[in-house]
Structure 1
Amino acid sequence: MKTPFEPQTDLKAISDFANQHQAENDRFSAFLKEYNDEAIDAKVQELDALISPTISCTDCGNCCKSLMVCLNEEEANNLSTHLKMDRPSFDQQYLEKGSNGMMIMNQMPCHFLQDNKCTVYEYRFEGCKEFPALHLPHFKRRVFTTFMHYDRCPIIFNVVEQLKIEMNFEGSLPNQ
C-alpha cells in the first residue's frame, strides 16, 4: 500500500457507500478486465494479506448473518457426526436441499453463529473457510460475486477500495 491505511469497519457506512458508488464499481469491474489476471491476483492477494489481519471477523460476523452457505455430503456427514446426530435428523433441522442435490443451510443467520463466533469452527464448511476468497487465484472470475459481498464484508470493501487507489482508478477514495 502506498500509505498507512485505517480500514473502514462500520457496516452502515460501508453499505451506504456501496449504494452511492454502484456505478463506480461497475466501471471498476470493467477497468479490471484490461489487466493481466496474474497481476490482479498478486495485487489483490497482497492487499488481502495486509488488510485482513487488521479486521476482526468476530467483531463483525456479517457473512454468517447474511450469506447462503452451500455444503457437500462430506461436510454434512462430518458436522452431523460431530453434533452426534444422524444425517436425516441433521438434514431436517439444518439443511435445505435442491433438486440438483445441492444443499444449503436453511437459515440466516447461520444456526452455528453465537456471539459472532462459529460454534462448530473446526467443522465449518469449505465456503466458510474460504470466504472472502481474496487469497485465491482468478480474482477477475469472481469480480461479480466479490461485488455482491462488497457492501457487507469489511475485508472485501477495504481491499477493493485500496485496490482502486493502488491502480490509480479514477473515482477511488482519496488516501486517508
Structure 2
Amino acid sequence: MKQEIDLEKYHQLALQKQAEHRKFLASLKKKPPKNLDKIVQQVHTEVFNEIDCTACANCCKTLGPLFTEADITRIAKYFKMRLPAFEEMYLRVDEDNDKVFKSMPCPFLGGDNLCSIYDVRPKACREFPHTDRKKIYQINHLTMKNTLTCPAAYLFVEKLKTRV
C-alpha cells in the first residue's frame, strides 16, 4: 500500500526554508564541490527510494509540462491521431508561446495517480523534478520553485545540504 504524502506539510516546510535553500543553492553556484554531480546522483537516488511519486502526483495535478514538437508527434502517434487533432483536443499556447495543456490536472493521469501514456510522456515529465541533472546549480531557480510543489525536490535539497 502506498504511503500517503502530506503535500501541505511539505509545502509549508518548503516555504519556511526558502531563504535557507536559496542561500545553500547559491553557495553551490559560487564554489561547486568537485564531486557535486556524483553527490547529486546519490541523493536523487536515495530520495526516490523513499518517495513514491504515485502516492503524490502533485506535479501531474498542478504543473503541467511544456510540450516540444517531438512530444506532440510521439503522443499523437501513440493515439493514432493527426497532430492538429491532438493539439486541438489537449493543448493551448500560453503567454510565453509554449504549448501546454488546456487544463489541469493532466488528462492522462488516472485516478490511481498513474500516467496512462507513461512510455511516451513528454520530456518535461520524464525529467521532473530535475534533481538528477549535472551542474544542478545552473537551475537553482527551478529547484527552488519545485520544492514548493514536489516533496521529493524539497527532500533532495534538504539531504544535499547534509552531504556538501
Q: Which TM class, normalised by the smaller chain length?
A: 0.7 to 0.9
SS in 2 for 1:104: strand
**Do structure 1's residue 54 and structure 2's residue 50 form an aligned pair?**
yes
Shift of 1:89: 1.6
Percent identity, aligned pairs only?
31
> CA contact under 8 A between 1:68 and 1:105: conserved in structure 2?
yes
TM-score (norm 1): 0.81
Shift of 1:99: 8.3
**Do structure 1's residue 21 and structure 2's residue 26 form an aligned pair?**
no
The equivalent residue for 1:81 is 77
Shift of 1:103: 1.6
RMSD: 2.1
Shift of 1:93: 1.2
User: Deviations for 1:91-118, whole angstroms, at most 9, x for unmatched residues?
Assistant: 1111112588632222221111112110
The equivalent residue for 1:124 is 121
The equivalent residue for 1:93 is 89
User: Deviations for 1:55-94, whole angstroms, at most 9, x for unmatched residues?
Assistant: 1111110111121311122221221122222222211111
> Structure 2 stretches of 5 or more lacking a match?
none
AA aligned opposite 1:120: I
In the aligned structure 2, how far is the partner of 1:10 from the partner of 1:61? 12
> Structure 1 stretches of 5 or more lacking a match?
1-7, 168-176
> CA contact under 8 A between 1:79 and 1:123: conserved in structure 2?
yes
Q: From the superposition, tell whether residues 43 and 9 of structure 1 become closer, same or farther in structure 2 (CA, over 3 Å).
A: farther
Which segments of structure 1 move beyond 3 Å, counting only runs of 4 or more? 98-102
Shift of 1:27: 1.7
Shift of 1:34: 3.1
**Given the alignment, which residue of 157, 160, 164 partners 2:161?**
164
**Given the alignment, which residue of 136, 140, 147 partners 2:137?**
140
AA aligned opposite 1:166: R
In the aligned structure 1, how far is the partner of 2:27 from the partner of 2:132? 21
Q: From the superposition, tell whether residues 136 and 22 of structure 1 become closer, same or farther in structure 2 (CA, over 3 Å).
A: closer
Greater displacement, 102-111 / 153-162 = 102-111
The equivalences for 1:106-121 within 5 A come to 106-115=102-111, 116-121=113-118
Structure 1 or 2, whichever has the larger Rg, is: 1
> CA contact under 8 A between 1:37 and 1:140: conserved in structure 2?
no
